[in-house]
Amino acid sequence: MLYREAGQFKTTYAEDMAIFPIRQDRMALAILLGIAFIGVPLLADFDIWPFGSDYLLRAILLPFLILALAAIGVNILVGYCGQISLGSGAFMAIGAYSAYKLGTGVDIPLAWLGFAISIPPLPVLLSILLGGLAAAVVGILFGVPSLRIKGLYLAVATLAAQFFFDWVFLRVSWFTNYAPSGSVNAPTLDFFGLNVGTPIERYMLCLIFVTVFAVLAKNLVRGNLGRQWMAIRDMDIAAELIGIRPLYAKLTAFAVSSFIIGVAGALWAFVYLGSWEPLAFSIDRSLQLLFMVIIGGLGSIMGAFVGAAFILILPILLNRIPSELGVPLSTETITHLEFIIFGSLICYLLIKEPHGFARLISLGKEKLRLWPFPY
Amino acid sequence: MRAPDTSEILLEVEGVSLAFGGVKALRDVSFDIRKGEIRAIIGPNGAGKTSMLNVINGFYHPNRGAITFKGRTRARMEPFEASRGGIARTFQNVALFKGMSALDNIMAGRTLKMRRGLLWQMLRYGPALAEEIEHRHRVEEIIDFLEIEAIRTVPVARLPYGLQKRVELGRALAMEPDLLLLDEPMAGMNLEEKEDMSRFIIDVNNHYGTTIALIEHDMAVVMDLSHRVAVLDHGVKIADGTPDEVKKNQAVIDAYLGVAH
Amino acid sequence: MSGVLYSLVALGFVLIFKASGVFNFAQGAMVLLAGLALVRSLDLLVAWGFPLWAAIIFGIGFAAVIMAIAAWLIERFVIGPLVNQDGLTLFMSTIGVTFILEGAAQMIFGSDAYPLRLFPTDAWFLFENLFPGGILVNKLDVWGGFIAGILVAGLAIFFERTKTGRALRAVADDHLAAQSVGIPISWIWFVVWLAAGLVALVAATVWGTKLGVQFSITFLALKALPVLIIGGLTSIPGAIVGGLIVGAGEKIAEVFLGSYIGGGIEYWFAYVLALAVLLVRPQGLFGERIIERI
């Protein structure tokens, strides 16, 4: 009764095609955004629970936002366009290290040509976006084979990217500015004169990035390009016969996806970690992102958020609950339990609901539309 | 059916031969399709009818022969050329995009007509939104025409077979094709559904002026709908003419009755 | 020669793929499970006073039983329910299975590194009169090659000659048709996964001796992927040839390119090689051509 479309008539196609056509959904979103943009900073400023300490902001909300952004990128490639990728960690790394080099000044001496390419350190915002662009370029390169190589074989190709870039950022010291320990520090985060340092400032920065990108991504998948991606995913031969060019569709998917993942990588390194090593972007990260997308829902922007939240919160729950209940488990056992639960969940979701929690939520909404009537 | 007004040739295949390994699907087949007509291609199973459509479409490339479409002759067609040139098609086993709704499937058919690029779509403002709405209008006209308003937002995988075929027809129509290739559009339908589909096909031909080539097994439908019929058997064309002529042709009768030759 | 060791893992993949069209990401985890079951039971039995030869036999038997249980569980709860889904879904489910196996194996059997001493690990120096110092041939690699040869022969006989083998091939081709002629799919798939599990056990004995049985053994699965791509996913001899190519290729690349670019090349060389093969010949050297129809 509360959640009903009755009485909400759409008189234009524009209204019908809006992201949230149902008024109740719009209100829910408004409340969520209100909490995110206004509520959280307020509570944090006054140290009100649950923001009494930095922990929630620093260790949960911040990684949640950035990983959700990366998951949106992965979802575009895997969920909407159907190209499986096990190399998303590498693209985060490309974004991070490119942004780092651009933010600290690039100096390529081409002695054999007689001059050097020298770029002074760029403003942080520009470095991050250009880092994403670098990732997009590499993404396009790795997308080119996707015409000939499909499905599983493509997964192997993306693994090749993952391992290759793992090695590049480890061995080619130019990327780490020849740091002896192999780990690097982010440049200071100056955005238009404002310095971003405290957890709440970092949170707001990421919130803005994520919101903007989520809207842009949602627009893309709702439009013609999104339909082209889904057509390629569902039946690429038929897609070609109605005039969709597979190369264009796949390459744009790779490009957009890698751009978003690259930006997320730069944010992860600059804003969340502060200082990092190549290990932060290993295959574990790629698998983690893939899990987020599967659990949250393939082919759903909202699913990326749900999946990210789930994957971040579960380990924390697993850590806290046994001790709360008085059953002490070693950290090792907890890790193993995590593995088992994640694995089982993946299998369960794939069997029961391949579209993940996002679909379960939509189904829930369907039920809610009828509530309290049974049918 | 009365013959169409024009005798201008839209598509012609000459001496087309196609073989897969040892299997000769088509052997030196030639026929033409006139603008504005409904051309049926019939024949017993395995005659090479679908292969013929696939050649016209560019999905198969013939070993020999030429295809002339809208005045241009070429040895083989590429799928992209075909769709760009105005050829649309439906399939024997419905080739819809299972993950999308009926509306989205038909909207996908408008891809070739959409101009606004990636950046505009991202912002979805002004020109991009206007374009999306304009194409939505056209698609809604098609939905109206095919009487499938009620199932717009249903994921096509959940639709019954007959409705899926209608959505597929809608997607082909969305391309505003000059030549529409229909591969067994009535397969698996009951009498009522067949009448509906026949009505749609005739309307498409009359209303939009679309030239139609269709493969069909139901003889009554073929005789009623088509202007001219080509008959294939074992990859060879054995008859070509109006439905009445073909009905009386002995070779055709033999082929269908299975007389050895 | 060490490429042959990769082939041992790759064989398990080929088995499952050939018989069910499923690409089993969990093969590496199966090696871990088998290895852990073996080594822990071995240590336990020896500690209880069993003579070594008896401990080995019982240990292997125990590990085989564990793999059978795992195969049954996997077939019953994961593969069976997903029988009609496309390859990608099944592949992702095997990723899920990987995690379950890794977590469960370590929780039950422990997560340390356990040394395994089933084969000699020293080396021979061959051809000392022809080459100064001789060619270093690792005894373990030779054992590995020998075992791989037996496995390949055995599997080939199994597939071609036995009734079950034929049924397996039928199921791989078209499982709906196979069911309609009375082949019990669940049983067949259980057999397939069991066979893969036993192959994993064999791989575990060799690799466990080389590296010790520990978590990092699961990364072998990742190494075996390029072997499969190069050899062809459906080919048993391809797995061997692929393994040899990868093994030799890595060593050569390390020697020649390593001095220019820096070390650690074997990390990605196999993958880039596989990528190159994919571009030129998507079905691998010995695989079957993939034909798409509409």
Neighbours of chain A (3+ CB pairs under 8 A): B, C
- pLDDT tens-digit readout, B100-157: 899 999 999 998 888 877 887 888 777 888 888 889 999 999 999 999 999 988 889 8
| Contact assessment for residue B181 and residue B235, using Cβ atoms and an 8 Å cutoff | no
Residues of C in contact with A156 (CB under 8 A): 225-226, 229, 271, 274-275, 278
- Residue A159 resides in a domain: yes
Closest chain C residue by Cα to residue A341:
C100
- Which B residues 102-141 touch C at CB under 8 Å? none
Please tell me the distance from the alpha carbon of residue A100 to that of residue A262, in angstroms, as a whole number. Answer: 12
A299 touches B: beta carbon within 8 Å: yes
Domain identity same for B54 and B109: no
CA distance B105 to chain A (A): 8
Q: What three-state secondary structure class fits B113?
A: helix
Q: What are phi and psi of A105, to 5 degrees?
A: 95, 125
Contact check, Cβ <8 Å, B80/A245: yes
Write the ipTM.
0.86
Closest chain C residue by Cα to residue B59:
C294
Pull the structure tokens for residue B138: 């056209």
- pLDDT tens-digit readout, A268-282: 998 888 888 888 898
B59 touches C: beta carbon within 8 Å: yes
- Residue C273 resides in a domain: no
A322 touches C: beta carbon within 8 Å: no
Q: Where are the beta strands (DSSP E) in A65-114?
A: 106-110
Closest chain C residue by Cα to residue B54:
C294
pLDDT, position A3: 61
What are all long-range contacts of C74-83, with beta carbons under 8 Å and residues at least 24 apart?
Answer: C74/C26, C74/C193, C75/C186, C75/C189, C75/C190, C75/C193, C76/C186, C77/A347, C78/A347, C78/A351, C79/C20, C79/C22, C79/C189, C79/C193, C80/C186, C80/C189, C81/A351, C82/A350, C82/A351, C83/C175, C83/C185
pLDDT, position B104: 92
Q: What's the domain range around A100?
A: 53-370
CA distance C292 to chain A (A): 9
B91 touches C: beta carbon within 8 Å: yes
- pLDDT tens-digit readout, A352-372: 877 777 777 777 777 777 667
More confident call, C173 vs A161:
A161
- Which A residues 181-210 touch B at CB under 8 Å? none
- Which B residues 146-175 touch C at CB under 8 Å? none
Contacts of C123 (CB under 8 A, 6+ apart): C136, C137, C138, C139
Please tell me the distance from the alpha carbon of residue A41 to that of residue C7, in angstroms, as a whole number. Answer: 56
User: Residue A58 carries which DSSP code?
Assistant: I
Please identify which residue in the block is written with the tokens 């075996």: C224
Contact check, Cβ <8 Å, A163/C268: yes
- Confidence band, pLDDT 50/70/90 cuts, at residue A209: very high
- pLDDT tens-digit readout, A94-141: 999 998 888 887 777 666 666 677 777 788 888 899 999 999 999 998
- pLDDT tens-digit readout, A299-319: 888 889 989 998 888 888 877
Residue B152 CA to its chain's centroid (Å): 22
Q: Which among B129, B154, B176 is the end of a domain?
A: B176
B69 touches C: beta carbon within 8 Å: no
Residues of A in contact with B79 (CB under 8 A): 240-241
Domain identity same for B122 and B60: no
- Residue A15 resides in a domain: no
**Which residue in the set A219, A231, A239 is minimally distant from B121, CB to CB?**
A219
Domain identity same for B248 and B194: yes
Domain identity same for B201 and B81: yes
pLDDT, position C146: 78
- Confidence band, pLDDT 50/70/90 cuts, at residue A48: low
| Contact assessment for residue A83 and residue A250, using Cβ atoms and an 8 Å cutoff | yes
pLDDT, position C292: 47
- Please report the DSSP string for A213-247 in residue order: HHHHHHHHHHSHHHHHHHHHHHHHHHHHHTT--HH
Closest chain C residue by Cα to residue B94:
C294
CA distance C18 to chain B (A): 25
Q: Structurally, how many domains does chain B consist of?
A: 2
- Residue A4 resides in a domain: no
Chain B contact probe: residue of A12, A224, A248, A257 with most B CBs at under 10 A: A224
* Res B251 pLDDT > 80: yes
Domain identity same for B237 and B129: no
Contact check, Cβ <8 Å, C77/A347: yes
pLDDT, position A371: 67
- By C-alpha distance, which of C34, C172, C13 is closest to C102? C34
Lowest mean pLDDT among B155-169, C128-142, C144-158: C128-142
Q: What's the domain range around C147?
A: 2-221
How many other C-beta atoms lie within 10 A of the C-beta of residue C47? 9
B95 touches C: beta carbon within 8 Å: yes
Chain A contact probe: residue of B81, B97, B180 with most A CBs at under 10 A: B97
- Residue C230 resides in a domain: no
Average pLDDT of the residues of chain B: 87
- Residue A5 resides in a domain: no
Degrees to nearest 5, angle at CA C184 with C178 and C190: 115
Contact check, Cβ <8 Å, A340/C103: yes
CA distance B245 to chain A (A): 34
| Contact assessment for residue A101 and residue A118, using Cβ atoms and an 8 Å cutoff | no
- Residue C97 resides in a domain: yes
| Contact assessment for residue A213 and residue A260, using Cβ atoms and an 8 Å cutoff | yes
* Res C27 pLDDT > 80: yes
Please tell me the distance from the alpha carbon of residue A25 to that of residue A4, in angstroms, as a whole number. Answer: 10
A166 touches C: beta carbon within 8 Å: yes
Contact check, Cβ <8 Å, B111/A244: yes
- pLDDT tens-digit readout, B174-209: 999 999 999 999 888 888 989 999 999 999 999 888
Alpha-carbon torsion (A286, A289, A294, A299), positive or negative: negative
Residues of A in contact with B80 (CB under 8 A): 240, 243, 245
Please tell me the distance from the alpha carbon of residue C245 to that of residue C265, in angstroms, as a whole number. Answer: 15
User: Residue C174 carries which DSSP code?
Assistant: -
Neighbours of chain C (3+ CB pairs under 8 A): A, B
Q: Residues A30-62, buried b or exposed e (16+ Cβ, 10 A)?
A: eeeeeebeeebbebbeeeeeebeeeebbbeebb
Residues of B in contact with A240 (CB under 8 A): 79-80, 83
**Which residue in the set C82, C87, C274 is minimally distant from A156, CB to CB?**
C274
| Mean predicted confidence (pLDDT) in A135-151 | 85
Closest chain B residue by Cα to residue C292:
B59
How many other C-beta atoms lie within 10 A of the C-beta of residue C53? 8
Q: Which among B150, B176, B202 is the end of a domain?
A: B176
- Residue A90 resides in a domain: yes
Contact check, Cβ <8 Å, A342/C294: no
- Tell me the pTM: 0.86
Q: Structurally, how many domains does chain C consist of?
A: 1
* Res C163 pLDDT > 60: yes
How many other C-beta atoms lie within 10 A of the C-beta of residue C260? 7
Residues of B in contact with A234 (CB under 8 A): 96-100
Which amino acid is present at A338? E
- Residue A8 resides in a domain: no
Contact check, Cβ <8 Å, B132/A220: no
Q: Structurally, how many domains does chain A consist of?
A: 1
| Mean predicted confidence (pLDDT) in C201-228 | 80
Q: Which among B124, B145, B176 is the end of a domain?
A: B176
Alpha-carbon torsion (C229, C234, C238, C239), positive or negative: positive
| Mean predicted confidence (pLDDT) in C257-276 | 74
Measure CA of the first residue to CA of the last residue in chain C; give whole Å. Answer: 44
- Residue C237 resides in a domain: no
* Res C294 pLDDT > 50: no
Closest chain A residue by Cα to residue C215:
A336
Lowest mean pLDDT among A203-212, A220-229, C25-34, C218-227: C218-227
Contact check, Cβ <8 Å, B111/A233: no
Alpha-helical regions (H) of chain C: 2-20, 27-47, 52-74, 87-109, 139-161, 163-173, 175-180, 185-211, 219-231, 236-256, 258-261, 269-280
The domain spanning residue A179 has which CATH number? 1.10.3470
| Contact assessment for residue A254 and residue A316, using Cβ atoms and an 8 Å cutoff | no
- Residue A9 resides in a domain: no
pLDDT, position A254: 94
Q: What's the domain range around B111?
A: 94-176
Degrees to nearest 5, angle at CA B21 with B20 and B25: 35
Contacts of B185 (CB under 8 A, 6+ apart): B90, B165, B169, B197, B201, B214, B216
**Which residue in the set A227, A237, A245 is minimally distant from B107, CB to CB?**
A227
Q: What are phi and psi of A4, to 5 degrees?
A: -145, 145
* Res B258 pLDDT > 70: no
Q: How far is CA B167 from CA A201, A370, B103, B172, in A?
A: 51, 28, 8, 9
Contact check, Cβ <8 Å, C100/A164: no
Neighbours of chain B (3+ CB pairs under 8 A): A, C
Pull the structure tokens for residue C71: 């195969």
Average pLDDT of the residues of chain C: 78
The domain spanning residue B260 has which CATH number? 3.40.50.300
CA distance C271 to chain A (A): 5
Spatial strand order of the sheet with B38-42 comes to B87-89, B179-183, B211-215, B38-42, B228-233, B236-241
